[in-house]
Amino acid sequence: MVILTAVIIASVSFLSSSQKKARDAKRRGDLKAVQNNFEQYYMENFVYPEVCTSGETVVLGQQSFRIPFDPHNLGDYQYQGSCSPTGYCLCAKLETGKGGNSQDINCTFASNGGYFCVENLQ
């Protein structure tokens, strides 16, 4: 019985860890997609969109894109940032607490931080 309990606890822990890693990968992908869309918007309009809130839509020529919601969508796990016509910084807090490129939501870039951020390239 003790061995079975240990195996179940290890399995649940592994599953939970895998889910966190998967959500962190989704966060990175979401923010890279937003960055690509913001840069395309800049190339067409010579300004960045001022939309930074999840769920808001940005019109890009004949198309539009929506700022995605965080895959966990609870508490601290929201996409956060600042956007202006001259630049942007968007960040996601990583559930694993490591492997990010920033120490905070202000695009303070550092290796192995607890946040993943993207900022304007222009």
Flag whether pLDDT at 38 surpasses 90.
Answer: yes
In order of 98, 108, 112, the CA distances from 65 in angstroms are 29, 26, 30
Domain extent, residue 46, equals 2-119
What confidence tens digit (pLDDT) does each residue in 59-112 have? 887 889 999 999 987 766 788 899 999 999 999 999 998 889 999 989 999 888
Number of domains into which the chain is organized: 1
Work out the mean pLDDT of the chain and round it to a whole number.
Answer: 86
| Vertex 27: Cα angle to 55 and 36 (nearest 5) | 75
Flag whether pLDDT at 36 surpasses 60.
Answer: yes
Please report the pLDDT score of residue 95 as a whole number.
93
Q: Provide the Cα torsion 102, 23, 96, 32; round to 10°.
A: -20
For 43, the token pair is: 């190339």
